[in-house]
Structure 1
């Protein structure tokens, strides 16, 4: 059974961009009636964690506890949770649940985004870490023993999904699933996924599970060709640094491209040549440097649309988790002990993950305090 939550939480705290994370105490947000406490068993390592630890996207508000692919068990459920207008009202102590990259939005009736079920685009959204809750308290993430936050953004994990596999779905998975869903990926559509990493290897699996006619994996080299074609559901593989005239050979073959790479040097103009008339290019990777310049003629000549996508709504996360459970879409993960977090983060930054690291608290899911 889950333990009683402590009043002060413990976790691996980042104090600067250049020093290792250290284990220590921090004060979670004040508990409100619609909040829950989670005893964390697993937390995925996301590229966002590295950008935040290093202040790569801008100055981080240290001290900071990162981690927004959280899975664990509920140890406290607020008295007001049962009355909220969300499937999360059914949460109860002992449930296995998860939290992704967003932990709060305003949820006000005059907010167009929240009332439309697009909470991730609310102007007052709260990130699961390095952000501020609506009450002004600092948000802290999942490299820790416990997490506290609003139940609205907490999701039951389907029984058939192992905790280590469910964790990366809560950010990496929804980041690629949401643009596929919004842009009607499915029968009759040909989809390309740029970048075969933590996000891209899930994008390939979701595109295949959604019934797309053709799924194309796009990477710089052929090192992941076998993974993509033999195991992840791709029909075609393009190695942009190796395949001669790839943009011409595969030109006009894709209806939708989802780009997961975080590079300011991507051959964007050539990527756009891969799209058909009325094709769509959606960027989900967030580079620290400015987006590359490109020729606009493909946009004009083929009525191509470019856009971006940010994680996904609570409803989309529930749909994604159920699809993953039904279709057995499982991230490729390597479990690492939470106490080895600094080495694991370093390995992630060095590109060693194939394709996701998941931090585990203790043995058999029992948290070490």
Structure 2
């Protein structure tokens, strides 16, 4: 299907792209389908996943690659079978672009689409027809409508964008593990992911929220749930596990390039503790999270950056200057 606009974006061409070497150029999106939505991008958050992908640290990246999966903009083209989105709506896309969507799929039939074996990531991935997925450091994005969400009027586009990956990555395990009244929650690492853990644990009415930067035996057996956002193989995992109460849970969401550090089995056995992992969030969880953000006035801690300065923003992100999420802004739209 031809359009009167071209898809252009900041393309990583090799594993030096995260050093400020992305190139602005045209790219070819997937063929437009009856269930697809084209989005004129106004905002896109910068996520740690972008950096890992640009550097080919989570497997070989299929260059050229346009990263970015915290996308907000205006629906400018809507497939004839799309029911929930109309042209002109302000919409968003998170880290997932497609799943099998079959009713007999264990994941897609139970609002667990990120765990579908046929999951397609928003960037750096391939559809069944071998076309490539491209992300939000760009002027336009094309995504299946099941993974496109209306943005509530009371949320600004800049604040909503990083919630679509970073926010729901913390909201999902907090909600799933029963965060709420009577629960004491710990968040390992206060950063782009960790600050969302604090915000949403408070919004879910946890009794207390503790940010963990180092372990201390004086605080042993004090927390019901710990969410770890740290992406380092040097984190004090054993010390963090000592903070859990009886039958407490440790959830890992940060994804280090190397293995997690070792720990003693006795950190788990005497207290019936468990360790688990968590991906992003399902479409249903994203919509639920956005509703909670409106209800509880959750505001992401962001710093807008011009889309034209994406290379500089990525380098600054690498240097740890973000407090706590950079959001690229397309000043032309």
Could you tell me the TM-score, scaled by structure 2's length? 0.97
Give matches, 1:99-248, under 5 Å.
99-219=93-213, 240=214, 246-248=215-217
| Alpha-carbon contact 1:8-1:28 (below 8 Å) kept | no
SS in 2 for 1:169: helix
Give matches, 1:257-272, under 5 Å.
257-272=226-241
SS in 1 for 2:211: strand
| Matching residue of 2:91 | 97
Which residue of the other structure, out of 15, 18, 43, is the alignment partner of 1:17? 15
Give matches, 1:41-80, under 5 Å.
41-80=42-81
Q: Tell me: CA distance 1:5–1:254, structure 2 relative to 1, closer, same or farther (3 Å).
A: farther
Displacement, 1:281? 0.2
Task: Render the CA deviation track for 1:31-57: whole Å, top value 9, x for unaligned.
Answer: 000000000000000000000001111
Displacement, 1:5? 5.2
Task: Render the CA deviation track for 1:8-31: whole Å, top value 9, x for unaligned.
Answer: 311110000114001100000000
SS in 2 for 1:139: coil
Number of aligned residues: 329
* Structure 1 residues not aligned, in runs of 5+: 83-89, 220-239, 241-245
Distance, in Å, in 1 between the alignment partners of 2:107 and 2:296 is 30
| Matching residue of 2:259 | 290
SS in 1 for 2:74: strand
Displacement, 1:7? 5.4
Which residue of the other structure, out of 272, 278, 303, is the alignment partner of 1:334? 303
| Matching residue of 2:242 | 273
Q: Tell me: CA distance 1:5–1:42, structure 2 relative to 1, closer, same or farther (3 Å).
A: farther
| Matching residue of 1:36 | 37
Distance, in Å, in 2 between the alignment partners of 1:137 and 1:286 is 27
Distance, in Å, in 2 between the alignment partners of 1:179 and 1:32 is 33
